[in-house]
Structure 1
Amino acid sequence: MSLRSRSIAAAAFALVATLAARPAAAHVDYVTEGSGDPLDAIAFTAEVLSDPLNAAVFGGSGLLAVVGIAAYLWVRPTIVDVVVLRETLAGYGDLVPWMLRLSVGLPLVGAGFQGYLFAPTLSFDTGSSPLLRVLFIGLGFCVLFGLATRIASAIGLLAYAWVLLAVDPGVVLAMEYVPVLVALAILGGGRPSADDMLLAVASTPGSYYGRIDPVHHLKSFLDAAAPLRRYVPTVLRVGMGVTFVYLGLVQKLADPGSALLVVEKYDLTSVVPVDPGLWVVGAGVTEIAVGLALIAGFFTRGAAALSFVLFTTTLFGLPDDPVLAHVALFGMASAVFTLGSGPLAFDRWFGRPALGDDESVIPAD
């Protein structure tokens, strides 16, 4: 076997070993009622890893991952399949606004109908708060259809800030809304969208709609955001990375008692027969590692693909995990996989861009 083949095999084996030894990502608060026994996080982690078998599984899978990545960086093979894939994905840039609209529009509509503020853990009485219900449903439908997308996204960001600062800081559980709404505020509705169709009608000389529609006259003003478009991949990548770090650090490692409830509730030790504590520590460290890789823009598409696998296994493995609560994460992972790292990323210095320095292409409106 050639050195190139061995390095690729090592990287693939490291990935499989990591997935086998460490569980899927999840919002612990979404699938547990109350909190578990208070445990000292540092003492808990030290006790778990002091067990020789736990230490061997944890350290061995981590070492395999590091060796596989190091071997790949040392050889940096040009794999034709990967190059073609990246070039093809670059052509999907105009579909990214549509992906993002679906990923937050559906959960916003669901939040309005089911009566919660972004995160399913923050419910409100739909009978006594009809305006909140109308707000979320209206924002969701506007984003879904791409109608006044930038305005709806800005209102959505203001609503999130209001909930965070004035209602319940626990909305940070749904922080994935922020980077997606910021990206939509920059990109607009894209194609296909109501904004795009109405703009085409309003811009046609002699159209009746063009006489009454004031929005298309602001296009030159909205185009002032055009220089920011190249940073959208960075916004999404970092936003998803911060979400992962939060899930791993705060929801797992800092609160092992609640995370152990998830392991017990779903009998995860029967899936992979390891110590329950290793499930918690492994999940936390894996999520933090994936999050840091995304923040740094390190193997960005690989990290996004791994994120997608983790979300999928979580939804199918935890039957009562609310699907709508993860749709935004699915959309963000899909967009990051499509766009790549964007500027300010490790991949820009050490990767192999398929289309030069600006692989991520998001066409202008």
Structure 2
Amino acid sequence: MSVRLRSAAVAAFALFATLAARPVAAHVDYVTEDPSDPLDAVGFVAEVLSDPFNAAIFAGSGLLGVAGLAVYLWIRPTIVDVVVLREKLAGYGDLVPWMLRLAVGLPLVGAGFQGYLFAPTLSFDTAASPLLRVLFIGLGFFVLFGLATRIVSVVGLVTYAWVLAAVDPLVVLAVEYVPVFVALAVLGGGRPSADDMLLEVASTPGSYYGRIDPVHHLKSFLDEATAPLRRYVPTVLRVGMGVSFVYLGLIQKLADPGSALLVVEKYDLTSVVPVDPGLWVVGAGVTEVAVGLALIAGFFTRGAAALSFVLFTTTLFGLPDDPVLAHVALFGLASAVFTLGSGPLSLDRLIGRPALDDEEPVAAAD
């Protein structure tokens, strides 16, 4: 057993060192201003990997990652620490709505005050559009307080759909809002929240408030109506996060290497790890796509969420121009996925795991 654990530790350390040498998961559009010259994406990747040194590093990193996962899957059933961690995380399930409310509430307030539509690249004139400013600030504060959470989440979804369809499809940069709004529409505000407090007051016999606000009594009905959907909340969150990663890696890096090269040049990333700039771009894109596909498939879900958290943190320290508010929702989303795990419709369920009901945290989420 000790030999297997030592092997796993060596593989994990090597994998972390390899990933740390790759670029962070940045929104390219957030840190570049000048348009780049278009480059043929397929030709660019082929040219980068035609260099024997680049190909050796790329292939070695991939093989090391696969080997690390294989070792972990081999020894996982015998690691007590993993079982204990999952049991502990199950007790945090009722805090997930609160995590998600903070994750989108804070950036929505920031978007309203700074004047942008979900993504910092989609700015609007706050003086010319005061109603938009009030809408985003209002959405943010209502979500933060947990007041009329389900209604506000639906309004948030409709607003996002309007921006996507009628204003600018590049709002897909902030696609992480969608799974969070959907999850909150299902789970409600949870605890602590204004909804929970007002329901308690309104439901108390003889309450003066209950006489003038019968609306919160609907919360109990909505809780029952959405109960069958709660088990799918982990699936919605991890798939939504996975889609965001695939977009960042595939569309913003691999399909647009010119812009990604500007990021490498702007922050002199080749001085951090002296490799070909093209290898930075290809490595970042493939890493993000791989993490995204793992999340979508529900494979090694908590590991992928933990890795994404590391990538987001590295971005904030490594790219000072990347707006902090643009990553708050992703941080909250990663935290929720790490807490809840893969949920149903996932490969993690198929390959087996120690006995623990993954639906337990969601069932207790409100």
Same fold (TM over 0.5): yes
**Aligned ranges 1:89-100 → 2 under 5 Å:** 89-100=89-100
Q: State the 1:354 CA deviation.
A: 4.7
Q: State the 1:127 CA deviation.
A: 0.3
**Aligned ranges 1:1-365 → 2 under 5 Å:** 2-223=2-223, 224-356=225-357, 358=359, 360-363=361-364, 365=366
Q: State the 1:35 CA deviation.
A: 2.2
Q: State the 1:213 CA deviation.
A: 0.9
Q: State the 1:360 CA deviation.
A: 4.0
CA change 1:132–1:109 in 2 (3 A) is same
Determine the C-alpha separation between the residues in 2 that align with 1:63 and 1:149. Answer: 45
Q: State the 1:361 CA deviation.
A: 3.7
Determine the C-alpha separation between the residues in 2 that align with 1:358 and 1:187. Answer: 13
Determine the C-alpha separation between the residues in 2 that align with 1:126 and 1:56. Answer: 51
Determine the C-alpha separation between the residues in 2 that align with 1:150 and 1:173. Answer: 24
Determine the C-alpha separation between the residues in 1 that align with 2:11 and 2:301. Answer: 15
Q: State the 1:326 CA deviation.
A: 0.5
CA change 1:11–1:297 in 2 (3 A) is farther
Determine the C-alpha separation between the residues in 1 that align with 2:345 and 2:145. Answer: 32
Determine the C-alpha separation between the residues in 2 that align with 1:359 and 1:148. Answer: 25
Determine the C-alpha separation between the residues in 1 that align with 2:306 and 2:365. Answer: 26
Residues 16-35 of structure 1: CA distance to partner in whole angstroms, max 9, x if unpaired?
A: 14313321101000000032
Contact 2:110/2:137 (<8 A) preserved? yes
Q: SS of 1:191's equivalent?
A: coil
Contact 1:7/1:75 (<8 A) preserved? no
Contact 2:94/2:361 (<8 A) preserved? no
Residues 263-296 of structure 1: CA distance to partner in whole angstroms, max 9, x if unpaired?
A: 0000001111111000000000000000000011
Equivalent position amino acid for 2:214 in 1 = P
Q: State the 1:7 CA deviation.
A: 4.4
Q: SS of 2:78's equivalent?
A: coil
Determine the C-alpha separation between the residues in 2 that align with 1:5 and 1:53. Answer: 31
Determine the C-alpha separation between the residues in 1 that align with 2:26 and 2:296. Answer: 19
Equivalent position amino acid for 1:197 in 2 = M
Q: SS of 2:218's equivalent?
A: helix
Contact 1:101/1:144 (<8 A) preserved? yes
| Aligned residue pairs, count | 365
Q: State the 1:2 CA deviation.
A: 4.4
Residues 334-358 of structure 1: CA distance to partner in whole angstroms, max 9, x if unpaired?
A: 0000111111111112142451463
Contact 1:340/1:359 (<8 A) preserved? no
Q: State the 1:171 CA deviation.
A: 0.5
After the TM superposition, which of the residue ranges 79-88 and 90-99 deviates more from structure 2? 79-88
CA change 1:59–1:28 in 2 (3 A) is same
Q: SS of 1:54's equivalent?
A: helix
Q: State the 1:85 CA deviation.
A: 0.9
Determine the C-alpha separation between the residues in 1 that align with 2:119 and 2:34. Answer: 16
After the TM superposition, which of the residue ranges 202-211 and 213-222 deviates more from structure 2? 213-222
Determine the C-alpha separation between the residues in 2 that align with 1:104 and 1:5. Answer: 39
Contact 1:18/1:62 (<8 A) preserved? no
Determine the C-alpha separation between the residues in 2 that align with 1:175 and 1:182. Answer: 12
Q: State the 1:76 CA deviation.
A: 3.6
Determine the C-alpha separation between the residues in 1 that align with 2:302 and 2:14. Answer: 16
Contact 2:93/2:365 (<8 A) preserved? no
Contact 1:304/1:337 (<8 A) preserved? yes
Residues 73-126 of structure 1: CA distance to partner in whole angstroms, max 9, x if unpaired?
A: 334442111111111011000000000000000000000000000000000000
Q: State the 1:364 CA deviation.
A: 5.2
> What stretches of structure 1 of length at least 5 have no aligned partner?
none
Q: SS of 1:190's equivalent?
A: coil
Q: SS of 1:19's equivalent?
A: helix
Determine the C-alpha separation between the residues in 1 that align with 2:87 and 2:109. Answer: 35
Q: State the 1:67 CA deviation.
A: 1.4
Equivalent position amino acid for 1:51 in 2 = D
> What stretches of structure 2 of length at least 5 have no aligned partner?
none
Equivalent position amino acid for 1:318 in 2 = L
Q: State the 1:237 CA deviation.
A: 0.4
Contact 2:91/2:361 (<8 A) preserved? no
Determine the C-alpha separation between the residues in 2 that align with 1:303 and 1:150. Answer: 29
